[in-house]
Structure 1
Amino acid sequence: MKIKQNINKIPGGIMLVSLFIGALFHTFTPWAGDYFGSFTKGVMTGTVPILAVWFFCMGASIDVRATGTVLRKSGTLVLTKMVAIIASRLLPVGGVESGLFAGLSVLALISAMDMTNGGLYASIMQQYGSKEEAGAFVLMSLESGPLVTMLILGSTGLAVFEPQTFVGAVLPFLVGFALGNLDHDFRKYFGNATQALIPFFGVALGCSIDLSVIVQTGVLGILLGIFVIIITGIPLILADKYIGGGNGTAGIAASSTAGAAVANPVIVANIKPEFLPVAQSATALVAASVIVTSILVPILTAYWANYMKRKGESQGSGPVNPGANVPK
């Protein structure tokens, strides 16, 4: 059977199919992890440890001479995405109260836009970009948690940056990076594992997604996910092309909503009580945005990469896996 060959025909297939399988399990059998327990539960709920191993292997695959590329790329993407969400300030604090966008609030929009799904980005760039660009997730750790959201909303000094949290997020990558550059045999050994770990991360990420959220939020939830891709994606593409030195592929790959962003509305509302009335609707909308962007971003990135390939514009330092599943 040519299962992998057929999956490769789907834009972003390895990641997307794995994610969808996990989402189906979580939507229709949310009890499966606890019921089977042991290693099965570990695979279904192991997003963090799987990512930790993956980031370690990714770090080992990057040559120290490419450090400048990693920092330039990640810094460009993070700063551009933070600037792009200034558009959300056009909404009233209490949210839109009537019409098609009723229920949409500045809290929902910022929470959905300011946190990139670093794991999704890295997996996509492993397929359609370069290993240096995949490593750009390093500075994306700054977006994790409610810190950036609270800063953008103008919190009153209660958002305190904890350095050890940032260090903990990038430490596996740095250790792998050190080993890979101290011994090139380690670089080859661990670097070969990066592709194999993508479907495991996809399933684990999917097992945190409930597809019924799309039904609950209706058209507005779908539109929010599309808005996130458009409002952040266009500036990210331009920044990647004209500042980061890429062809825009990394920009699209970074235009997603992180799963952790779902918790942001409640956390922020508990600190800033004026957001409590919109926190519940914002949580549902952000969850919908996570699903929509998780599905659309791999597809759009694949088509953009294919378009650039036809134009003859290579991405970054060259593909990690030449002949990866770019749709024909």
Structure 2
Amino acid sequence: MDILGKVNKVPGGIMVVPMLITAVINTFAPGALKIGGPVTGAFSGYGAMAFIGALLFTAGSQAKYSDLRLICSRGGVLVVVRLLVAYIGSWLTIKFFGLDGFCGVSAMAITILLANCNPGVYMGLMQSYGDNVDKAAMGIINLIAVPATPLVILGIADGTGFDYMSAVSTLVPFTLGLVLANADEKIRKMFSTATPVVLMFVGACLGASINMKAIANVGVAEVILIAIHVFVFLPIMIAADKIILRRPGYAAVAATCLGGFAVVAPRFIGESLPQYAPYVETVTAQMAVVLVVSIIVYPYITKWIVSKFGSGAQPAQPAAK
């Protein structure tokens, strides 16, 4: 039974398939993932950050000092463009429509939609389509995966500061892997095959926070948010990747997928900025819908971009005769 072969036929399948499995379990039998012990630690949202830390370490272990410029440029451009678009979108919404926004889409929803990313999906897709620089760029991209990012964008007018510890907590495991592997090549080789294993658990943990029933709650506001994300924001990200970085665009698509912290961000923002508290419940439900759609759709968009413009992955070598 070729289970792994079938999983690998799904774009980013080594991460996406476990995520969908635990999402289904969480939707119909959530208690099964919360029985405690190793099950809860390895297959629920409680273990997500630990496995993401391990993923950052393995990403760093496969990077070389000579690649750092490329890593920072590829990841940095995608992060800067994303933050710039998120700020412009947030500012325009507030300026012309106020905090309530339009058609049920609030300024909070727009900001979270544009400022959040999914490093797990990104890494899963780079495992299939990216090169070592793309994979290591996760250390940069992960900087904006935290709920603090949309909070800072929304709170600029209120003088809200940047959460430096979020950045430090991302860079420490990545840097540790980078330094150790460059000091000892045997460490690099030891972790060279670790990424798929860690990705499987990252996917399982992230999926345990997803409720698939959110799809049934699609309304006008959710359709607008999905349309903005796919038909407005995504083309901007692809254009930045192709025009600025001269790359095929697959990494930009993978880095645009909405992340699980988008569902956490509304409450985080509401507790820090009281003026946004009335929107917390509505935006949380909206982000859940967009998240489910994103993790299903974006891997296939990435695969389509690869089929049109190519990827960074090395082609398989023909077997020796």
TM-score, length-normalised on structure 1? 0.87
Alignment of 1:37-116 (within 5 A): 37-45=36-44, 46-85=47-86, 86-91=88-93, 92-96=97-101, 102-116=103-117
For residues 203 and 315 of structure 2, what CA distance do their matches in structure 1 show?
A: 21
Which consecutive unaligned segments of at least 5 residues does structure 2 have?
none
For residues 69 and 178 of structure 1, what CA distance do their matches in structure 2 show?
A: 17
Letter of the structure 2 residue corresponding to residue 79 of structure 1: V
Pair 1:217–1:280, CA change in 2 (3 A): farther
Alignment of 1:1-328 (within 5 A): 1-35=1-35, 37-45=36-44, 46-85=47-86, 86-91=88-93, 92-96=97-101, 102-218=103-219, 220-309=221-310, 315=311, 318-319=312-313, 322-323=315-316
The structure with the greater share of residues assigned to helix is 2
For residues 143 and 285 of structure 1, what CA distance do their matches in structure 2 show?
A: 20
Q: 1:222·1:292 contact (CA, 8 Å) conserved in 2?
A: no
CA distances 1:216-274 after superposition (whole Å, capped 9, x unpaired): 34454354234223332212111112222321111111112221122222333344333
For residues 23 and 299 of structure 2, what CA distance do their matches in structure 1 show?
A: 16
Pair 1:158–1:266, CA change in 2 (3 A): farther
Pair 1:34–1:146, CA change in 2 (3 A): closer
Report the Cα offset of residue 138 of structure 1. Answer: 2.0
Letter of the structure 2 residue corresponding to residue 136 of structure 1: A
Letter of the structure 1 residue corresponding to residue 191 of structure 2: F
For residues 290 and 279 of structure 1, what CA distance do their matches in structure 2 show?
A: 16
For residues 43 and 152 of structure 2, what CA distance do their matches in structure 1 show?
A: 33
TM-score, length-normalised on structure 2? 0.88
Residue aligned with 1:31, SS? helix
Pair 1:50–1:282, CA change in 2 (3 A): same
For residues 148 and 51 of structure 1, what CA distance do their matches in structure 2 show?
A: 18
Report the Cα offset of residue 172 of structure 1. Answer: 0.8
Pair 1:130–1:226, CA change in 2 (3 A): farther
258-267 or 282-291: bigger deviation: 258-267
For residues 271 and 172 of structure 1, what CA distance do their matches in structure 2 show?
A: 28
Report the Cα offset of residue 160 of structure 1. Answer: 2.3
CA distances 1:162-218 after superposition (whole Å, capped 9, x unpaired): 333311111111111111111112111112111232222111111110111222344
For residues 194 and 54 of structure 1, what CA distance do their matches in structure 2 show?
A: 7
Letter of the structure 2 residue corresponding to residue 232 of structure 1: F
- 4+ aligned runs moved over 6 Å, structure 1: none
Residue aligned with 2:256, SS? coil
Pair 1:115–1:162, CA change in 2 (3 A): same
Residue aligned with 1:258, SS? coil
Residue aligned with 1:254, SS? helix
Q: 1:47·1:205 contact (CA, 8 Å) conserved in 2?
A: yes
Pair 1:184–1:213, CA change in 2 (3 A): same
CA distances 1:31-90 after superposition (whole Å, capped 9, x unpaired): 11222x211111112211111112111111112111111000111000111122323444
